[in-house]
Chains A and B, each alone.
Chain A
């Protein structure tokens, strides 16, 4: 053992274990999503597959809903729809949030502070309101873009603050004193800071946009009926979940598992804290 290497503490190894667990879970979900058409016994939105509102049984593992749809295959299709909406949204949040934030910290002081100020105001707004606002202002079908853009301000603030700590660090000053340009310093940030934390940032963004998208869908602003996502399924179940619990519980549980794995993959790092 090299004494110069810092010892791996218990907390660090626990975090690594959790992240591996999270990414494994996300991998399994990705497999389930890509195979959802084969795994599901019924096509999406296929009504009258069985009797109405039957509780979970041998033939219908998750039961059936008010229209006689198989809840198991509906949940799989719903998960698929949720993930297909959330992944592009997470990429948008990553690009316009974390990456833009890391770059903006190295811009000239006046520009970078103005950007930080503006996006700081946007980050203070609830992301869901922002998403609904963007959806209301654009055509329907842009829910992914709206969710990505509404999650971006927080990611921007986070990326910006991380990078500006580095920009103010002593080693940056020494680098400038030996004529190293801002472009080279930016390269350092991108190579070491951004790419090093890329997987965690992506998972964090995935968790954030999934919550935004499902809530928006629940309120009727997100996914559109032929392609029901989990949020919309829960919304559809809200009139009779008191006596047919399975219609709401299984989609909700699936949604929770998706968000939990994304959070674990991010190392249980709260997105709200910079």
Chain B
């Protein structure tokens, strides 16, 4: 039984740095065993709070207010001092917190040993026990690799184990799970909550978006421009009885709902036709029909390729765009067979393809802002200067970057600005196909909601087909009409998203859905039932494998071309085995 006692008491904290006020009178308390999510954008001042809590001071920083850990003395915030409670720090795997040249286990062992003041061998054992307690964590042996050789989620598991192994009184998580896939976030947040219940430590989770908060379901404070604008339970804040700003943040966490109507896609002659594409190009023998992929994407349609990292979505897109050779199959883009074109011709065809990716490295960091937007126009078309300026102006206005300095280098832009710049570049190139790859990765909640709006607007105005790569069903639902679910390089399920949300068949799909709708799976079922009752959908719940023709989806569920397999057998293989 843990005595409920005050663990952290911050009173009227004001922090300014180089004349900029970062925190303006923040007071907060945290009891032992309590969890708290501190939510805010990049400029909200949560970084300043993190610095004060972590006892780091920055040059030119001035702080007033008091800080009290446990039952120790309250000390002024500008003084550095050793807290009398044990604090563990959990960093995000995305910011590469570990030395890339040493093994993960040696570095984490040292952290645990320092935290507990015990010898290395004992710390290593503690780390092993903590890691093995997590059911879905990677094996302890995997930690002898270097940080670069582990996936982000594996590294997150290892670091979570190291933090928990220090048996802290207070765990400070610095955007720890941001940028991970929803399934990973769900599992990690579950493990963190369990460990917290078991060990009774207090948790302060600093977050930029709601993805993790939705799993932790605890008290939240919302910071904006250095002030606490909202405090309360996740449920209360999600309920809509909140500050307008908080409501905007929650809008960025779209709820899954099968009630959304199929968006009309009758415009469509086919833009992209794929027949019997076999991604295992390196293999000599022809892959079985199960692995061959066939589908059709019509003009203006939106198809989501959903799956975990390494499930073959990127390989598929690379093959579609002619960037990677494939052994068997046929790809027809805009009525032209990509297989018979020369490299120069496929490059010409790709001019009307745009990318919006979650990778900040997708833009040349040396280029200036205007040059980045102008380049597709200048490289592909011979336009007079004033026309280029006009297109650029319109595009930048639409994404909200028109007021930025034209000569600023891309490297100096923020992540959100870079993302918007990618959209502006896509707008000017008038694409017929937009490849959108994890568009919300690493953005804060406010930026996420704007990003979704921008992309929806792009699709409405320019009318490109969307090929969306994501691991998050919510993103898929917000931006696409149809989905193909991938697992370990294989297509396991496909169809309209409404159908998939209504009745997912494959286990992988169910897993992805559950991760995207934390603790709402039951609710979701209820919503679905209600929705289908209200809209009196005439569509019977036919399993996809039986009669795909009736669904009339924009992706025609063509069968893979395979001579040696009869259509019946192959259909069973190609689509999915029903798990029940």
Chain A residues, Cβ within 8 Å of B355: 174, 177-178
Near A by CB (< 8 A), chain B positions 6-26 give 18-20
Residues of B in contact with A, size category: 35 or more
The reply to whether A184 and B353 contact each other, CB–CB distance below 8 Å, is no
User: Of A170, A177, A179, A188, which is within 8 A of B367 by CB?
Assistant: A188
The reply to whether B375 and A184 contact each other, CB–CB distance below 8 Å, is yes
The reply to whether B379 and A6 contact each other, CB–CB distance below 8 Å, is no
Chain A residues, Cβ within 8 Å of B43: 3
The reply to whether B366 and A175 contact each other, CB–CB distance below 8 Å, is no
Q: Which residue of B lies closest to A172 (CB)?
A: B364
The reply to whether B362 and A171 contact each other, CB–CB distance below 8 Å, is yes
Stretch of B251-259, B282-290, B410-418 lying at the A interface: B410-418
CB distance from A179 to the nearest CB of B (A): 4
Q: Write out, one digit per residue, whether chain A residues 163-205 have a CB within 8 A of any chain B CB (1) or not (0).
A: 0001001111111111111001000100011001000000000
B365 within 8 A of A: yes
Chain B residues, Cβ within 8 Å of A177: 321, 323, 350, 353, 355, 435
A1 within 8 A of B: yes
Assembly CA distance A177 to B347 (angstroms): 7
CB distance from A3 to the nearest CB of B (A): 7
A11 within 8 A of B: no
Assembly CA distance A169 to B469 (angstroms): 21
Chain A residues, Cβ within 8 Å of B414: 4
Chain A residues, Cβ within 8 Å of B376: 178, 180
Residues of A in contact with B, size category: 20 to 34
Assembly CA distance A177 to B321 (angstroms): 7
The reply to whether B366 and A176 contact each other, CB–CB distance below 8 Å, is no
Q: Which residue of A lies closest to B318 (CB)?
A: A177
A124 within 8 A of B: no
The reply to whether A6 and B412 contact each other, CB–CB distance below 8 Å, is yes
Chain B residues, Cβ within 8 Å of A110: none
Chain A residues, Cβ within 8 Å of B365: 171
Chain A residues, Cβ within 8 Å of B61: none
CB distance from A196 to the nearest CB of B (A): 7
Near A by CB (< 8 A), chain B positions 312-349 give 321, 323, 347-349
Chain A residues, Cβ within 8 Å of B348: 179
Assembly CA distance A1 to B357 (angstroms): 29
Assembly CA distance A188 to B367 (angstroms): 8
Chain B residues, Cβ within 8 Å of A192: 364, 366-367
CB distance from B363 to the nearest CB of A (A): 6
Assembly CA distance A169 to B361 (angstroms): 8
B359 within 8 A of A: yes
A242 within 8 A of B: no
A109 within 8 A of B: no
Near B by CB (< 8 A), chain A positions 128-153 give none
Assembly CA distance A174 to B376 (angstroms): 12
B166 within 8 A of A: no
CB distance from B49 to the nearest CB of A (A): 16
User: Of B364, B379, B417, which is within 8 A of A4 by CB?
Assistant: B417
Q: Write out, one digit per residue, whether chain B residues 146-188 have a CB within 8 A of any chain A CB (1) or not (0).
A: 0000000000000000000000000000000000000000000
B351 within 8 A of A: yes
A31 within 8 A of B: no
Chain B residues, Cβ within 8 Å of A179: 347-353, 380
The reply to whether A170 and B361 contact each other, CB–CB distance below 8 Å, is yes
The reply to whether A1 and B363 contact each other, CB–CB distance below 8 Å, is no
CB distance from A198 to the nearest CB of B (A): 14
Assembly CA distance A181 to B378 (angstroms): 11
B: residues with CB less than 8 A from A are: 18-20, 43, 321, 323, 347-355, 357, 359, 361-367, 375-376, 378-380, 412-414, 417, 429, 435
7 pairs, CB–CB < 8 Å, chain A vs chain B: A3-B43, A171-B365, A173-B323, A174-B355, A174-B357, A179-B380, A188-B366
Closest 6 CB pairs of A and B: A179-B351, A179-B350, A192-B366, A170-B361, A184-B379, A171-B364
Inter-chain pairs besides A170-B362, A177-B350, 14 sampled, C-beta below 8 Å: A4-B414, A5-B412, A6-B412, A171-B361, A171-B364, A171-B365, A176-B350, A177-B321, A178-B354, A178-B429, A179-B352, A181-B347, A193-B366, A196-B366
